[in-house]
Amino acid sequence: MSKKKLNILFVASEVVPFAKTGGLADVAGALPKAIKELGHNIIVVMPRYYKIDVSKLEKLPEPLGVPMGVMGEFWAGVYKTTLLNSSVPIYFIDYEEYFGRSGLYEDDNGNGYVDNANRFIFLSKASLQLCKMLHFIPDIVHANDWHTASLPLLLKTRYLHDFAFAKSVLTIHNLQHQGNFFKGVVDVMEVGWNYFNAHDLESNDEVNLLKGGIARADAVTTVSKKYAHEIQTQEFGFGLEQHMQAHSHKIYGILNGVDYNEWSPRTDKLIAKNFDDKDMSGKLVCKRDIQKHFGLELRDDVAVIGFVGRFAEQKGIRMIAEVIHSLLDMDVQIVILGTGEKWAEGFFSEIAQNRPNFALHVGYSDSLAHKIEAGSDMFLMPSLFEPCGLNQIYSLAYGTLPIVRATGGLDDTIHNYDEFHQKGNGFKFYDATNDALYFTIKWAVEVYYSQKEAFENMQKRAMQEHFGWDDAAKSYEDIYLNILGK
């Protein structure tokens, strides 16, 4: 019997290459393509942020009406194109008053927009209204993070009669951000006040969008197996651990994949020279390229350690800041690309002025991210928690050995160097302490200098690993079919 072709609505607040602040965008730009490859009909919906150039997009002729409860009905424009190198349609909800701003979630000073609840409830409702307009009846509605977490509940209430057979999946990319807002938004959601209770939307007398989504989704997924367990503990549950435990029967961990069209040293157009595990000579060219770019001493023989990521406590930047001087006393070059918390931007900028073997770029730069992945010998990711983490997986592809803390997806993907058996693909520590971080980096640097062959073999092993989206897509498909009872 042939497999049933499913209609899937996939909604996310950011999607590569249109808008990105972190890994969610990478996932939303790649996973739908892999699901389509399995033979399903999938459409993606995201906001049309101000910076998305609409000149090459198709504009739908009809405006889209979006009911916003007590606020009345709002009318949005809709643009359309396809995901990069694919035929997966992506629709952009164009509503100037909500999305015509420079930031995705916050202003230039890092303050979250005060109307974020309405903005993303609007996106969620707009995605369902769009389905009605397109006569696209979803079997599965796949939501991501708090921004679109109202979808499972909307399907069971306000949209029950429109999409009676649709099932929902909510993927948690980061439990820290839950979408807590003034409870009055219940009247904007139009889900009914009976859902404002401690088992659904309510949390400290506020609406918690993620909590409501977890309660009502037919399946909840997280982006690694380890994180699926961690979020049920007090240490990683961000106050929702009991809620997670109550729903543990429907929580699954599926590791993210890599879009190798974007992240492969063989074909990457953003790096100085391509290379692969058979011929790594191009990697040295990439190393010189970042040394030149950042004004570091041009040395082939020095250990270069890279970091790319948001300056957020999650990423362990405070620990890095606390040990940076001791690290820089070693014979290493450290290159950091990131933006976020102001204290970190200021702190690292000052170090960059005083230490010749330290380089920094404050800001967001896709091309520099690729160059650092390619040209570094090691990649630092000492996260306090990490639902999946993509950079360490990209690093493996570029033969840049990750130095990570054993948490979430970092623990699932990185295996410690085992000198005796000559195994492993990186360096891993367990305690979130400065000492553990410092001594692990020191160990990695020692291996780099004194066990050259072992280091190179480990790089090759890392480059031969494969984290395809095809496997992940099959796991999502299993869940879709399971909740549909097929």
Instruction: Establish if 23 lies at the interface with ligand GLC (CB under 6 A).
Output: yes
By C-beta, is 57 or 404 nearer to ligand GLC? Answer: 404
Which range touches ligand GLC (CB under 6 A), out of 268-276, 380-388, 395-403, 452-460? Answer: 380-388
Instruction: Establish if 309 lies at the interface with ligand ADP (CB under 6 A).
Output: yes
Instruction: Establish if 22 lies at the interface with ligand GLC (CB under 6 A).
Output: yes
Q: What is the distance between the alpha carbons of residues 250 and 217, in angstroms, rounded to a whole number? A: 9
Which range touches ligand ADP (CB under 6 A), out of 70-78, 266-274, 302-310, 430-438? Answer: 302-310
The tokens of 60 are what?
């739908």
Helix (H, G, I), strand (E, B) or coil at 169: strand
State the DSSP string of 469-484: HHHHHHHHHHHHHHHT
Q: Shortest Cβ distance from residue 458 to ligand ADP (Å)? A: 21
Q: What is the distance between the alpha carbons of residues 486 and 467, in angstroms, rounded to a whole number? A: 27
Among positions 152, 316, 389, 408, the unique one binding ligand ADP when judged by CB under 6 A: 389
Give, in order, the Cα–Cα distances in Å from 167 to each of 6, 143, 191, 365.
Answer: 11, 11, 17, 38
Nearest to 400 by CA among 443, 448, 354, 350: 448
Q: Shortest Cβ distance from residue 135 to ligand ADP (Å)? A: 35
The neighbour count for residue 362, using CB atoms within 10 Å, is 17
Which range touches ligand ADP (CB under 6 A), out of 77-85, 144-152, 193-201, 385-393? Answer: 385-393
By C-beta, is 26 or 94 nearer to ligand ADP? Answer: 26
Q: Shortest Cβ distance from residue 282 to ligand GLC (Å)? A: 27
Report the partner that residue 212 touches, choosing among ligand GLC, ligand ADP, none (CB closer than 5 to 8 A by kind). Answer: none
Q: What does DSSP assign to residue 379? A: E
The tokens of 293 are what?
């770019």
Instruction: Establish if 386 lies at the interface with ligand GLC (CB under 6 A).
Output: yes
Instruction: Establish if 338 lies at the interface with ligand ADP (CB under 6 A).
Output: yes
Q: Do 122 and 152 meet the contact criterion of CB atoms below 8 Å apart?
A: no
By C-beta, is 383 or 440 nearer to ligand ADP? Answer: 383
Q: Do 361 and 367 meet the contact criterion of CB atoms below 8 Å apart?
A: no
Helices (H) and strands (E) in the chain, counts: 17, 19
Among positions 116, 256, 400, 407, the unique one binding ligand GLC when judged by CB under 6 A: 256
- CB-based closest residue to ligand GLC: 23
Q: Do 359 and 335 meet the contact criterion of CB atoms below 8 Å apart?
A: yes
By C-beta, is 247 or 318 nearer to ligand ADP? Answer: 318
Nearest to 379 by CA among 189, 62, 217, 371: 371
Residues near ligand ADP (CB under 6 A): 22-23, 26, 308-310, 337-339, 364-366, 369, 388-391
